[in-house]
Amino acid sequence: MQVATASKDARISVETAASANLDEVCRWLIERRTDPLRLDAQDLPALGQGVRLVLALPLTARRAVICAVWLLGDGDESACVLSGQLRFVAHPSTSELMVTFRGRTAMAMTTAVLYRRAHHVVGQLLQLIAESIGAAAVPAGRGRSPFRRRSIRLHSRAAIPHL
């Protein structure tokens, strides 16, 4: 994992590798957009508080997906801890993805001890996202993905004639 931070302007850039394909990433991002991921203090120990991961609609390209992201305090929707962009770039010949976060910390975080650990928080967040995408992509024989269940439900509704 590569980490680069600039302490004066509160910018953060963290990059890591993950194993997934871009279709799985898009499905996961869209699912999480309508159902934000809630993380408690044990999920992000470097942060030490509960938060919600809020995502914008992802933009896609041939080998990349980009999405705006906000990490909001769990109790107060206006308490933004981090904001930025997630970028998933596929390797041309393997199933490896580079996952990058580029963004900023909230002003409240710049004066606290948390700011000094912000790159650790983002590293843990990227790891959780990669694990969550992988868990959602498990084949139906080993476990069911919430994306597959929803698509089946949508198709079965469309097949029912309207009276």
Q: Which residue ranges form the domains of the chain, and what is each CATH number?
A: 2-159 (3.30.530)
Measured in degrees and rounded to the nearest 5, phi and psi for residue 119 equal -65, -30
Between 43 and 76, residue with greater pLDDT: 43
Distances (CA, A) of 106 to 22, 99, 113, 136, 139: 29, 22, 13, 30, 38
pLDDT band, residue 20 (cuts 50/70/90) = confident
pTM here is 0.72
Rounded mean pLDDT, 150-154? 32
Least confident residue range of 22-26, 44-48, 83-87, 113-117: 113-117
Rounded mean pLDDT, 65-89? 87
pLDDT for 81 equals 85
Note whether 97 and 88 are within 8 A (CB): yes
| pLDDT(107) > 70 | no
For the chain, give the number of residues.
163
Rounded mean pLDDT, 108-113? 56
Burial of 30 (0-12, 13-18, 19+ CB in 10 A): middle
| pLDDT(86) > 90 | yes
> Bridge-partner residues for 78, per DSSP?
none
pLDDT for 78 equals 63
pLDDT band, residue 135 (cuts 50/70/90) = confident
3-class SS of residue 130: helix
- Measured distance CA(106)–CA(72) in Å, rounded: 10
Rounded mean pLDDT, 112-132? 82
pLDDT band, residue 45 (cuts 50/70/90) = confident
